[in-house]
Amino acid sequence: MANGCVAAIRKGCELYKQVKGTVADAQKTFNEVKTITKEVGGFLGMFKKKVEIQVEVPVEQPKGKKHQPVIDENTVYAELATNLSKLFRLQEQLSKYIRNEEEKSKTVYDPDQNLMESALQRVLVQEQMDKLAEQVQWEMIYNSPPELGALFSKCHHMKVQITHEQDHARAKIEKKKKEAKRKQDEMVSKMQDNLIYFVAVFFVFSALAFTWWVIVLDRKVRYGW
C-alpha cells in the first residue's frame, strides 16, 4: 500500500511538472503571433501610413485529431496532497505500531518471544518506510517545481511541531492516568486497612464476649447464680 502511495505521488509530481510547462503543448492550444501590415492615421482618409502590428492567430488542429483535455493545476495539486496524506497516515500507523510494541515489551513479559526476530521485524518495517519517505522527498524537492518542494518542507516542519504538541498532550494524559492509578491504589489500600481494623476490632470484642460468657457460666456452675 505504501509503494502504491509513493508511485501515485511520483506520477502526480510528473503531471504537475507537465502542467507547469514542460509539455505545455499537450495541455492547451497556443496561439501563433503573426505580423501584419495595417494602414493607420490620416486626416479625412488622406495621408495614411502603413505600420506593422502583431496579432495572435489560433493554431488549427489537424483534421481527425482530438483536442487534448486541459488538466487543471489545482486538481493535480489537490490529488497530490491526497496521496501525501495517505502516505503520512501510513507513517503514523507505523509509528503507533512501534510505540505499542515498545510499551508492550516494557510491560508484558513473553518468555516465548524471539528477541532477534522481533528486532528484525521492527527494523525492516522502519527501514522500508524511511526509504519510501526519502524517495518522496527527493522527488518533490529536487525533481519538481519549487512549490512542491516548499509544500513538502512545510509539511515536514509542521509535522515536527505537531509531534511535539502530541508528545506534550500524551505526557499530560499519562500523568493523569498515573495520578488516577495512585489515588485508586490509595483508596484500595485504605479500604484494606479499614477492613483489617474492623476484623481486628470484631475479633477483640468477640474474644471479650466469649471470655465474659465463660466467666458467667463458671459462676453459675460454682455458685448457682
Q: What is the pLDDT of residues 73-129, one digit of tens each?
A: 788 888 888 888 888 888 888 888 888 888 888 888 788 878 888 888 888 878 887
According to DSSP, residue 46 is labeled B
User: What are phi and psi for residue 114, nearest 5 degrees?
Assistant: -90, 105
E strand intervals along the chain: 31-40, 49-58
H or E, element range at 129: helix 115-142
Q: What is the pLDDT of residues 173-225, one digit of tens each?
A: 989 999 999 999 999 999 999 999 999 999 999 999 989 888 888 777 777 76
H or E, element range at 56: strand 49-58
> How confident is the model at residue 187, as a pLDDT?
92
Question: What is the C-alpha to C-alpha distance for residues 97 and 2, in angstroms, rounded to an integer?
Answer: 15
